[in-house]
Structure formats: structure tokens, C-alpha cells
Structure 1
Amino acid sequence: MLDHELLRTFVAVVDTGSFTRAAAQIFRTQSAVSMQMKRLEQQLEKTLFVKDKRELQLTDDGQKLIGYARRILKLHDEAMGVMASEATLRPLLLGCPDDYISGVLPELLAQVRKLIPGLPVQVRSGSSGQLRQLMDEGQLDLSVLTRPADKEEGYLLLQDRGVWIAPSADFIDSCDTLPLALVEPDCKFNSSAVDGLIKQGVDFDVICISGNCTLLSEMVRRGEAVSTLASCSVPNDLYRVPAGRGLPELPEVEIVLQSAANSHPELGSDRLSLLATRTAEVIAQRSPTLS
């Protein structure tokens, strides 16, 4: 018989891509997680992981098991949710990067209310890296994140891309030195903008760096700078700089919903999948070009 706790650890390792991060999320030591995975491999008489260029990868047998593990845990979590008393409800601790506060979070919260009426929600913002850390520390149940390239983290909500915003169509041409108000350096829009401008030989001056997109938008609105934002987060009154205006192209991003390994008791894997699917559908209907 497969131990569902071993399977939960296995899923946590796969979702986080790391024994270390999985250990933090399930409140065990890294050595304990390693021992659990060895026990699981011994039970199955299969090798589940292989290290490739310092990154943890699943073997073919690991790929086969992950689907079954998710289904087993889905049934387990569903049963626990049905049996749980409403008196034990606690707030859902939800994280969301500031980039997606306006473009994603309202739709997500609306779907949470429909799926689990009466469930209180507490929201914290921060960069994707900061929010992952909070999940690892047990301070968040669930978070919207920007997924790293070539990772399978979380449930996809939408594919978006970065866009340049400016006070007006002629603002860029009027500047000898381009004033920039940028997101924090751990966001790929920052590095893409700076590296791209350097390669193109464009003179620029970074006058502000902030994780607060409302501040960045207001600086653009006041005519003080140009900035970069995720397309879904651009206010309707700001000018989107079209391609071909001499500014570097910004990357595409995948925005996902990821649960901590120790999920909220009212949000097991079955409800989480449904929540992500419904949220993605609403966002796609609202803004088809972002999906």
C-alpha cells in the first residue's frame, strides 16, 4: 500500500523542483525528505528521480507515478474536506505579485467566493520569489506566481507578455535620455529592458525602482518616466508603446496558481484545479489576447 504522506512529499518535490524547498513546505528536514523518497522508491522498486545538470528531473517511472499521486491525494483531500467541520474554517492565506493585483487577483477572488462561499481570504503581495519563500515558511496557502521557463510549477492561469508604457506617443522621441521607472531587478522585465537598451545604444536613466505597480503607473501618468508592466496590468488610460518604436521587446510570462505542499483544508487538489480552470476561463473571456 502506498503511504499518502510519501506521495504528498513526492508531489511537493516535483512541484517545487527541489528537496530543499519541499522540506521547508512540509516542515521536515532535507534529509527526512530524501529518506522518504528512498522509502517510496524501495516500495515501488523503481527509481523516481535523476539529477541532470544540478536540476532534479523525473525518470520515466517518476513521470508515470506523478499523475497517480495527484489523483490519490485529490481523493484524500476531497474526503478530508467533506468531513471537516465548518467551525474549523480559517482564512485562506493568498499571495499575489503586485503586477497581477488588478489583472488577475479580482477574478481569482471572485472564483474563490463562488467555489467556497464564506471562506475569508487574506492577501499578501510581493515578488514571485518572496511569495515562494512565504509558502516555504508556511505563511501562505496559495499564490499567484510567474512561472520560471521550462518548469511545470502550478496551474496555468494565462500567458502574458511585458509591454512598455509611456505618457504619450511622442514622449520617447522628445527625450535625449530616456527616464525609466522599473520593477525590481528580480523581475525579468527589468533585466530585459536594461539589457536591451544597452545593446541598442539608447541613453537612459533609471530614476525609480519599485515593486509597486501603482507607483510606476502614476509616474508614467504624470509624464515623469516610461515603464514596463505585464500587459494584463496596464491601466486603460496609459499609452502602450507599439513594437517598432525603438524599445527592446519584452519577454512572455506564464502566470500560474500554486499551492503550498500543506494546502488549506478547504482547498484540496480537486478544488484547486477547478479554481484555476474557472479563473483562467474568465480571464480568457475578458481579454482573449492575454490567454
Structure 2
Amino acid sequence: MNQISAVPGRAALPLLDTEVLRTFVAIAESGSFTRAARLVFRTPSALSMQIKRLEEMLGQTLFVREARQVRLTAEGEMLLGYGRRLLKLNEEAVTQFLAPSLEGRVGLGTTDDVGTRILPGVLSQFARSHPAVQVDVVVGSSVEMLKRLDSGELDLALVTAGMNGQTTIGEVVHSEPLVWVGREGGVAARRTPLPVALANHGCPWRKIALDVLDHAGVDYRVAYTCEHCAGQEAAMLSDLAVAPFPLALIRSPLRRLEQGSLPPLGDYQVALVRRDGLGSAGEVLAERVVEAFNDLRS
């Protein structure tokens, strides 16, 4: 039965049930009532009834039912974002009162391109839920983060991995296009040899870029080498070079170079690597990081 929210001067609205939201999110993420039923330990018919009542309550069709799968409607995609946030908030509230108190220290390493996107929100939420846990963050190259992980300085590391299809260490949590980028109205992309700004040796972006340029026979020179992607950005802003750069990080006056002007780079991946024997505080933080990347895709 739906609970009713009564606000003076406003028509009462039904409240979304967290169990129904959990069912909805499971179906959306698995693409199947049958697979979702196994995840929430209910029958497919029970799930179908829950979704029917939810659709009736909202007055919207949430799924398009096809022969072997279901997919979200536009309204379903909108509800998925709300549903994930509501479930996360519910978990955070319950954890605050019922979960065993976490204590200790977690060392988290990340590359700068990743850290600026998801860590502020993750660390803020984690600090509210588990104030007794100290999180120390280190920003550096993927190679450096893995070395620190092996030495025991870090418990978790977010590292840049290779292209899709390649074997990577850890759990792949994100994938996005790597594209050629230069300054709007700049001339660097028209120079010969092509001036390229790259990260230091060991960075997968560097290897991907040099491999495709060599394979395509493009005449180039490494004009700028830096530790962080902020250095690549500076080189592009100064119109000193073009660079391989994540599509999501492009900001004016930088722009993606016309497709076909340079060989495509494909997608790159971000992996979360855990230290052997990771404690409970580290595992909880790892879960929050994975959820944050899931939210980027929703």
C-alpha cells in the first residue's frame, strides 16, 4: 500500500516504496525480469505486478517489453536516476544508525583526470556516513599509484587502463572515448610534423596515441611531456600541440578535432585496484567509488 504525504495546501502525493524502487533498478540494470527476480529473490510475476502498480501510480510506461529483454522508456530513464539516488540515500541513513561503526584509515590513489570528476562527491558522502574513517588521497600517475599499492602505502587505486578488449588489472569501472583535442581556431593540428602533448612514459594514453600515429604513418613529434593531464591542457590552450584527451573533459576553448583528420584512438578504461587483504572500511569506500561511476552512466 502506498503511503500518502500530506502537505497543507497541496494535494497529497503517493510515496515511492524503496523495495519497489530496488526492483525497478534491478530490472533496468539487468535488462530482464527473470534475471532481476534472481537478484531480489522474488518471482518474475511478482516483479511484473510491482512494476505494473508503479506505472499506474506514476501514470507512465517505464519499460518497453521485447521478446528477450526489456528496455527503459524516456520516463523510465528519468526514474532510474531518481531511484538510484533515493536508494543510496536510504542506505546512507540506515547505515548511520544500524551498521557497525567503521574506523581506521584508507589510502586512496588516483590519476588527476579521474579524481576531479567523482572524488569530491564520493569523499563528501563517505565522510558523512563514516566520520571515524580517515581517507588520505594521493594524486599521481597510474604507474606510481600501482607501485604505492604494491608497497602497502595505498589501499585502493584508480588507474588508467588500456583500450577495450585488453586485459586490465583490477575492476573496470568506467570506459569512455579518447579523442584528439586542440584549441578552437588553433594551427597546431595543421603543422607538420604534428606536435603532440603526451603524459610521461607508462601512461596508456601515450601508448595508444603513439601506436595509432605510427600505424597510420603520421609524421609527428612529441612537443610536450607532462606528469598530469592539466599539463596537456596547458599545451593545447597555448596552441603548442594537440593531445589525446577524454571526451568528457573537453572544455572551451578546446575542441575535439574533426573526425578523420587523425586516426581514431578508441575507448580507454579506468580500473579500480584493491590491495590484498583490504579491510572493511576500504571495501565500503570501494563500493562508493563504483556507485559513483555507475551514476556517471545514468
Give the TM-score normalised by the residue count of structure 2. 0.58
Question: Paired residue for 1:233?
Answer: 249
Are 2:219 and 1:203 aligned?
A: yes
Question: Paired residue for 1:256?
Answer: 271
Question: Paired residue for 2:229?
Answer: 213
Question: Paired residue for 1:177?
Answer: 193
Question: Paired residue for 2:288?
Answer: 275
Deviation at 1:277, TM superposition (A): 3.8
Question: Paired residue for 2:15?
Answer: none
Gaps of 5+ in 2: 1-98
Are 2:141 and 1:120 aligned?
A: no
Deviation at 1:170, TM superposition (A): 5.7
Work out the CA distance in 2 between the residues paired with 1:144 and 1:116.
21
Gaps of 5+ in 1: 1-81, 286-291
Larger Rg: 2
Residue pair 1:157, 1:256 contacting (<8 A) in 2 also: yes
Residue pair 2:108, 2:154 contacting (<8 A) in 1 also: yes
Question: Paired residue for 1:157?
Answer: 173
Residue range with higher mean Cα deviation, 187-196 or 221-230? 187-196
Work out the CA distance in 2 between the residues paired with 1:107 and 1:263.
22
Alpha carbons of structure 1 residues 170 and 237: separation in structure 2 relative to 1, 3 Å:
closer
Supply the AA of the counterpart residue of 2:259: A
Q: What secondary structure does 1:185 align onto?
A: coil
Superposed CA deviations along residues 45-88 of structure 1, whole A, max 9, x for unmatched, are: xxxxxxxxxxxxxxxxxxxxxxxxxxxxxxxxxxxxx666x6xx
Work out the CA distance in 2 between the residues paired with 1:205 and 1:273.
39
Work out the CA distance in 2 between the residues paired with 1:113 and 1:236.
33
Deviation at 1:173, TM superposition (A): 5.5
Superposed CA deviations along residues 184-211 of structure 1, whole A, max 9, x for unmatched, are: 2322321232232233333222111112
Question: How do residues 1-291 of structure 1 correspond to structure 2 at under 5 angstroms?
Answer: 89-117=103-131, 119-147=133-161, 149-151=165-167, 153-168=169-184, 171-172=187-188, 174-245=190-261, 247-268=262-283, 271-272=284-285, 274-285=287-298
Alpha carbons of structure 1 residues 277 and 174: separation in structure 2 relative to 1, 3 Å:
closer
Q: What secondary structure does 2:133 align onto?
A: coil
Q: What secondary structure does 2:197 align onto?
A: strand
Question: Paired residue for 2:94?
Answer: none
Which structure has greater strand proportion? Answer: 2
Work out the CA distance in 1 between the residues paired with 2:194 and 2:264.
16
State, as a whole percentage, how many aligned pairs show the same letter.
23
Q: What secondary structure does 1:120 align onto?
A: strand
Q: What secondary structure does 1:258 align onto?
A: strand
Supply the AA of the counterpart residue of 1:283: L
Work out the CA distance in 1 between the residues paired with 2:178 and 2:232.
14
Work out the CA distance in 2 between the residues paired with 1:106 and 1:162.
23
Q: What secondary structure does 1:242 align onto?
A: coil
Work out the CA distance in 1 between the residues paired with 2:124 and 2:170.
19
Aligned length: 200
Superposed CA deviations along residues 246-272 of structure 1, whole A, max 9, x for unmatched, are: x1211322212222113244233xx25
Deviation at 1:169, TM superposition (A): 5.2
Residue pair 2:195, 2:241 contacting (<8 A) in 1 also: yes
Residue pair 1:140, 1:260 contacting (<8 A) in 2 also: yes
Q: Whose relative contact order is higher, 1 or 2, with alpha carbons under 8 Å and at least 6 apart?
A: 1
Work out the CA distance in 2 between the residues paired with 1:173 and 1:125.
30
Residue pair 1:169, 1:241 contacting (<8 A) in 2 also: no
Work out the CA distance in 2 between the residues paired with 1:152 and 1:195.
18
Work out the CA distance in 2 between the residues paired with 1:258 and 1:195.
26
Supply the AA of the counterpart residue of 2:122: L
Alpha carbons of structure 1 residues 272 and 150: separation in structure 2 relative to 1, 3 Å:
farther
Work out the CA distance in 1 between the residues paired with 2:153 and 2:178.
29
Residue range with higher mean Cα deviation, 236-245 or 214-223? 236-245
Work out the CA distance in 1 between the residues paired with 2:245 and 2:153.
27
